Amino acid sequence: MSGVSIEACLSICRLRTTFVDSCGDKKVICGTGFWIKDSNSSFVFITNQHNLDFNYRRQGFEAYELKKIEIELRDLSLDKTRPIPNFFPIKTCSIIFRDADVVALREMRFENKEKQFTHCQFSSEWLADNAFFEKYMKMAQEAFFLGFPHSKFDEEGNLPVSGHVILASWPTRSFKNKDLNENDVLLIQGKALKGASGSPVITFPRGLPINTDSGSAKTESFCPQKLVGIIAGHFFKEDSLIADPNNKKEDFFNHSDYSYFIRSTSILYLLKGDDCQTQDYEYQIPSMIT
């Protein structure tokens, strides 16, 4: 098995979004996202739709409007393992979305960003396509995610932490279940807690390529390391919800040990702009937000 570099960790950032309803009630949520360098050498920030739309897949809730998007960047000029972090609000950007719980933020301009605060990024070649899922992904395969579960991340430099998962549904098609209304989704066994939404899911490399005098060959078990999706949520224990349907505490002991992620194929659709919608965002400081 193999892990990831510090540069991969520095490609993953915390996201903070502020929502306000018609009565002025404010809600602030934190999640995870990661940077991709696309084929045009543009930097794109990937996160979940539900991190930017408080009412995503919700019914019967008061409508909350997105007012502020902030991304935590880092000063990497000294020690990359102990960077200095700081949140910066996005002044303007384009939000690209489709029919799954993932969005791409393009053409970002930050408000009052200091030059030394920046990020690393994954190449778009990291992203697994349909052919990779067909050829390499297996039921019960191991993988991991890197993100910021609330209060559980490395607070010196605000670096992400990893979580081990096992693929629990068939990888070449979307997981279907009465308790999950989502597209292009796979089930995993593993605890992705609140705050980890938006974390990249990455496979472990498997097997070895073999170099010979006549070129390079690969064993049948070989599987390269790829970014295969983005954490989108988890299931709660049935008994805790039966006793109290509103008992959705983000508690380690209420987690069912099953989570789910959106496949990287949906991210590729966003990068290509295939059948996507675009929403322009502009940050304006209302008097109710301090």
Over residues 125-184, the pLDDT tens digits come to 999 999 999 999 999 999 999 999 887 788 888 899 999 999 999 999 999 999 899 999
The 10s digit of each residue's pLDDT in 74-132 is: 999 888 989 999 999 999 999 999 999 999 999 999 998 988 999 999 999 999 999 99
CA 47 to chain centre: 5
pLDDT at 46: 98
For residue 31, the domain's CATH number is 2.40.10.120
Which has the minimum average pLDDT: 3-7, 151-155, 238-242?
Answer: 238-242
Residues of the domain holding 175: 6-282
A 10 A CB-CB count for 278 gives 11
On whether residue 261 sits in a domain, the answer given is yes
Closest C-alpha among 117, 90, 94 to residue 42: 94
* 40 part of a folded domain: yes
Q: Is 281 exposed, middle or buried (0-12, 13-18, 19+ CB in 10 A)?
A: middle
* Chain length of the chain: 290
Q: What is the pLDDT of residues 247-287, one digit of tens each?
A: 555 555 576 789 999 999 999 999 998 889 999 999 976 55
Instruction: Judge whether 173 lies within some domain.
Output: yes
CB atoms within 10 A of CB 218: 12
The answer as to whether 289 is a domain residue is: no
- Give how far the C-alpha of residue 69 lies from the chain's centroid of Cα atoms, to the nearest Å: 15
Letter string b/e over residues 51-90, b meaning 16 or more CB atoms within 10 A of that residue's CB: bbbbeeeeeeeeebebbbbbbbbbbbeeebeebebeebbb
Q: Is residue 290 part of a domain?
A: no
Residue 220: pLDDT above 80?
Answer: no
Is residue 27 within 8 Å of 18, Cβ to Cβ? yes
Q: What is the pLDDT of residue 209?
A: 65
* In a domain? residue 288: no
| pTM of the shown model | 0.89
| Residue 36 token pair | 């991709």
Q: Which residue's structure tokens are 């040990």?
A: 257
Structural domain total, the chain: 1
Domain-embedded: residue 184: yes
**10: exposed, middle or buried (C-beta count within 10 Å: 0-12, 13-18, 19+)?**
buried
* Domain annotation covers residue 10: yes
